[in-house]
């Protein structure tokens, strides 16, 4: 590999050169803090270096020894060229950082800090590799006035006239610490300025002696790679893959696979032992390998890293500064929201429940503690008083929750049946409703273990609720739908209900789509595993009209919502977007060169995902984490996620049209967006999602056809075929033998695969993530667990229920501590960072990575299409005929609007799973 070797530092007076008069400038807009985005649209231009004329060419008789460049041995002439590198500095610097920056500027100034090697696309006959030239950057450049966090350095080269066009640069960092390289631009060649977009951390040679390879902004299929950089293409991929051994260091960028073996902590206690996910018993997608040593008590479980220590992810996958600040602010809010209720809980014998609706409303109006409760807490002891005083001086905004969208317009909407049903189509989890196609409803579970397969929902029960319509007529007209969590949850019911403070049922909910276009729930079935005394342990609930039935029906709906919240978080959100996307990201880096057109296309859709997944393993989905503490499945949460992966996850069904057809919510229709026609036109998630899906598909198809214009070019692309094989056989190893994996032989195959991946990372994740706080921030609307069974006549608590049903309902919900924990986390997960990159910005993002006008025009058309879609969605939300997105107190459906400002907005489609 072409690596730079360290040179002795010899300081001469002539070495100290000031470049301030060299007319360096920034020509593109930059964004100051706090909106400082990752992909800074910076284009450095050296005066005189942009002309494609011979003005930049100079005949050199003798190479200048002190500029460290490779001089031409030919007296016929050489050319002077200049490389300008753009480096991003920290926004928040300590005094020591500023001192180090000053020293680094000095070292760069004298030409001993950063070495650049230019590698030509042409072969040097002597070395049989790309021609090369090298030079240290030198000089002190003035800070650009429009962005104090960007600095530039220049390096001068003298190269032969026949050097050819540079296809790669190699960067070596001789400083003691890493730096963030935004871009390098090479001036002086006849082709004009040549851009090398980087957006990467360059480690110190003390940490990694190999030079970092940066390819120019040109997409090449493997067969089209210029001969001078073919070896670098292969070497770069080899360095990224690593050798699968040892513990990874934070400065590395090694991508490899491992199972989920770090969720439990056997060293801590028996109660924190968790099964390894990623084997025959518990199949699961693979995560990024960290190589940490095994625990002492279980050789198959990896030692955990607890906060505040970071979990390894490849260096370029980590949050950047603005994102870190946003996430840290969210964590502070979570601490404040959780600590104060914890203090309140300690003041009583146990964690306190909500006992009336005023308790909940205080969270938004007064804060998590009333003044009276604050004074009680302060009086407990002096230490606690000091803590409280510090917290209470932070400010009211941190101590109060924002009013969630679900109650902002109508405080009582959540109580109504039509709102319960509306959220199944237009809420945060609109992906589980299915068409009911036949009766009886049958379970696929083993009847020897789980009892008779027939549901207790009979034709007679349904027809009582359908009034004048027969079941046969309703099924024929496709008006009956089901929300079915029976088979997914019943195998776990016994274990879940053995946990303290948990009472759950496996549920089925039948809904009827009325002639007026309203979906309403008509029957709920709640089931428990059979017992000797009750072989068919199923209870049926209908809404009824008397007071007692009304409250019982409300409790039944709350249990359904609790199941829905758990399936949403563990299956649809975590498993189907976060966990399933990580193997695609790892394989893309390991098998596709950064100059491969598919890598370039997917790159914006991989941002921050591995980091947020690592943080989730650290404190959300781990043993004893937030999900276990606050959701019904408790310590069995990830087992349910694994079981769902085993029974239902299919790559081919993650495509939106295929998923809708599978659930019976749409039928094929080539004339409609996405090629399908919806059974329920007013299905906001699906209607808006199909617009986004179609736009992505159109863009991806054009992109694939542009790069794969030759017959069999997809099949003959060795990197692409290795990529797809690795996704199937390593990334989703436990599903490797499934027959439903798509083939990868044609342009259509590739377009379908890439469209699915981009949809999952962007539109699908946005639809089921950014509504978490708007819908879940009011605990009665989406309780994450239920603590009491539904009372029956003869139960000890039945009389208490009749006397005070509101108390029974509220004390069945999560406790105040559980609820506020979830609310704080949902608030963080629903927040857009100030540096978020949205799908409608792909044109600007890709403009910095492609020099192909046709490709740039393609992304420009895509951005224009998304602007049109945004206007269509706005018009739909104003249509009074669409009752699931318009009406008195009804919040508009905006989760699939492409753009958004920062914060909790309930809208916006980021390019990637970034939170």
Q: Residue 403: which of 780, 775, 768, 895 has the closest Cα?
A: 775
Active site residues: 573, 578, 765, 769, 915
74 by Cβ neighbours in 10 Å (0-12 / 13-18 / 19+) ranks as exposed
Rounded Cα distance between 369 and 377, Å, is 10
> What does the alpha-carbon distance between residue 504 and residue 563 come to, in Å, rounded to a whole number?
8
Helix (H) or strand (E) holding 76, with range, is: none
pTM of the model: 0.89
Which residues does the chain have with pLDDT short of 70? 1-76, 92-93, 95, 97-99, 140-145, 327, 329-350, 367-399
Phi then psi for 375, rounded to 5 degrees?
-65, -40
Q: What is the pLDDT of residue 16?
A: 26
- Other Cβ atoms within 10 Å of 342 Cβ, number: 15
Sheet holding 114-124, edge to edge: 129-136, 114-124, 166-173, 212-215
What are phi and psi for residue 623, nearest 5 degrees? Answer: -60, 125
Name every residue whose Cβ is closer than 8 Å to that of residue 140 and which is 6 or more positions away in sequence. 18, 19, 20, 105, 108, 109
Cis peptide before 34 (omega within 30 of 0): yes
Instruction: Please tell me the distance from the alpha carbon of residue 80 to that of residue 57, in angstroms, as a whole number.
Output: 6
CA-based nearest residue to 570, from 490, 637, 653: 637
Q: Is there a contact between 274 and 300 (Cβ–Cβ < 8 Å)?
A: no
Q: What is the pLDDT of residues 448-468, one digit of tens each?
A: 999 999 999 999 999 999 988
Residue 670: the pLDDT is 94
Residues near 51 by Cβ (< 8 Å), separated by ≥ 6? none
Q: Please, which residues have CB within 8 angstroms of residue 98's CB and are 6 or more apart in sequence?
A: none
Q: What angle do CA 139, 145, 146 make, to 5 degrees?
A: 125
Give just the sign of the alpha carbon dihedral 586, 591, 593, 596. negative
Helices and strands, counts by H and E, the chain: 31, 21
Say if CB 86 and CB 134 are below 8 A apart.
no
Q: How many whole angstroms separate alpha carbon 273 and alpha carbon 286?
A: 20
């Amino acid at each position: 590999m072409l690596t730079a070797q360290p040179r002795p530092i010899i300081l001469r007076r002539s070495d100290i050169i000031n470049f301030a008069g060299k007319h360096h400038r920034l020509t593109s807009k930059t964004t100051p803090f706090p909106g400082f985005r990752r992909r800074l649209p910076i284009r450095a231009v050296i005066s005189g270096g942009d002309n494609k004329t011979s003005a930049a060419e100079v005949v050199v008789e003798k190479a200048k020894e002190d500029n460290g460049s490779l001089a031409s041995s030919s007296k016929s002439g050489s050319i002077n060229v200049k490389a300008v590198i753009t480096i991003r500095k920290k926004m928040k610097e300590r005094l020591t950082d500023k001192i180090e920056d000053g020293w680094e500027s000095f070292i760069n100034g004298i030409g001993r800090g950063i070495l650049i090697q230019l590698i030509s696309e042409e072969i040097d006959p002597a070395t049989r590799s790309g021609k090369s030239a090298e030079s240290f950057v030198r000089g002190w450049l003035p800070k650009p006035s429009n962005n104090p966090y960007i600095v530039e350095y220049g390096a001068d080269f003298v190269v032969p006239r026949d050097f050819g066009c540079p296809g790669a640069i190699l960067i070596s960092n001789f400083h003691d610490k890493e730096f963030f390289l935004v871009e390098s631009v090479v001036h002086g060649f006849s082709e004009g300025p040549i851009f090398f977009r980087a957006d990467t951390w360059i480690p110190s040679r003390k940490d990694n002696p190999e030079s970092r390879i940066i390819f120019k902004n040109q997409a090449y299929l493997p067969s089209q790679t210029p001969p001078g950089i073919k070896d670098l293409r292969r070497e770069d991929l080899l360095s990224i893959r690593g050798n699968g051994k040892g513990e990874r260091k934070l400065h590395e960028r090694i991508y490899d696979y491992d199972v989920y073996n770090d969720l439990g902590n056997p060293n801590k206690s028996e109660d924190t032992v968790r099964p390894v996910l990623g084997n025959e018993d518990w199949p699961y997608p693979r995560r990024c390998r960290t190589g940490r040593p095994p625990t002492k008590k279980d050789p198959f479980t990896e030692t955990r890293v607890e906060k505040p220590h970071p979990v390894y992810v490849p260096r370029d996958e980590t949050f950047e500064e603005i994102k870190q600040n946003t996430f840290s602010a969210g964590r502070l809010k979570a601490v404040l929201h959780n600590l104060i209720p914890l203090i309140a809980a300690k003041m009583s014998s146990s964690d306190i429940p909500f006992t009336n609706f005023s308790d909940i409303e205080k969270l938004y109006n007064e804060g998590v503690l009333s003044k009276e409760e604050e004074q009680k807490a302060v009086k407990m002891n002096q230490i606690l008083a000091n803590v409280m005083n510090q917290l209470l001086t932070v400010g009211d905004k941190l101590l109060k929750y924002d009013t969630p969208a679900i109650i902002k317009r109508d405080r009582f909407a959540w109580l109504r049946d039509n709102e319960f049903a509306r959220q199944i189509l237009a809420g945060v989890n609109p992906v589980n409703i299915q068409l009911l196609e036949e009766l009886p409803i049958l379970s696929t579970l083993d009847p020897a273990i789980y009892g008779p397969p027939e549901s207790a929902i009979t034709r007679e029960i349904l027809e009582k609720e359908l009034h004048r319509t027969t079941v046969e007529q309703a099924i024929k007209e496709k008006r009956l739908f089901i929300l079915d969590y029976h088979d997914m949850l019943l195998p776990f019911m016994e274990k879940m209900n053995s946990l303290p403070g948990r009472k759950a049922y496996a549920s089925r909910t039948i809904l009827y789509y009325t002639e007026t276009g309203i979906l309403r729930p008509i029957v709920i079935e709640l089931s428990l595993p059979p017992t000797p005394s009750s072989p068919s342990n199923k209870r049926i609930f209908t809404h009824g009209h008397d007071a007692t039935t009304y409250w019982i029906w409300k409790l039944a709906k709350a249990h359904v919502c609790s199941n829905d919240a758990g399936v949403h978080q563990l299956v649809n959100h975590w498993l189907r977007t976060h966990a399933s996307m990580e193997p695609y990201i790892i394989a893309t880096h390991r098998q596709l060169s950064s100059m491969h057109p598919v890598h370039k296309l997917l790159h914006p859709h991989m941002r921050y995902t591995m980091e947020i997944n690592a943080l989730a393993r650290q404190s959300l989905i781990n043993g004893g984490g937030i999900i276990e503490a606050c959701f019904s499945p408790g310590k069995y949460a990830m087992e349910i996620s694994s079981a769902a992966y085993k029974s239902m996850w299919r790559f081919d069904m993650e495509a939106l049209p295929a998923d809708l057809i599978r659930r019976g919510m749409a039928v094929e229709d080539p004339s409609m967006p996405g090629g399908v026609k919806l059974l329920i036109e007013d299905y906001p998630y699906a209607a808006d999602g199909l617009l986004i899906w179609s736009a992505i598909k159109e863009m991806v198809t054009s992109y694939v056809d542009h790069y794969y214009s030759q017959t069999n070019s997809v099949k003959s692309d060795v990197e692409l075929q290795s990529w797809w094989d690795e996704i199937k056989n390593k990334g989703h190893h436990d599903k490797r033998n499934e027959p439903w994996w798509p083939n990868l032989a044609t342009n259509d195959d590739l377009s379908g695969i890439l469209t699915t991946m981009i949809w999952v990372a962007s539109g699908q994740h946005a639809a089921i993530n950014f509504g978490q706080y708007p819908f879940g921030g009011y605990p009665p609307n989406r309780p994450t667990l239920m603590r009491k069974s539904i009372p029956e006549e003869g139960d000890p608590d039945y009389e208490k229920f009749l006397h005070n049903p509101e108390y029974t309902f509220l004390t069945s919900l999560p406790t105040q501590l559980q609820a506020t924990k979830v609310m704080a986390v949902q608030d963080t997960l629903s927040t857009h960072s100030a540096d978020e990159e949205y799908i409608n910005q792909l044109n600007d993002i890709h403009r910095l990575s492609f020099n192909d006008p046709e490709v740039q025009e393609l992304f420009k058309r895509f951005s224009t299409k998304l602007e049109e879609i945004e206007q269509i969605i706005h018009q739909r939300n104003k249509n009074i005929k669409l009752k699931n997105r318009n009406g008195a107190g009804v919040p508009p459906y905006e989760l699939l609007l492409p753009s958004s400002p920062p914060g909790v907005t309930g809208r916006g489609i980021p390019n990637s799973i970034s939170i």
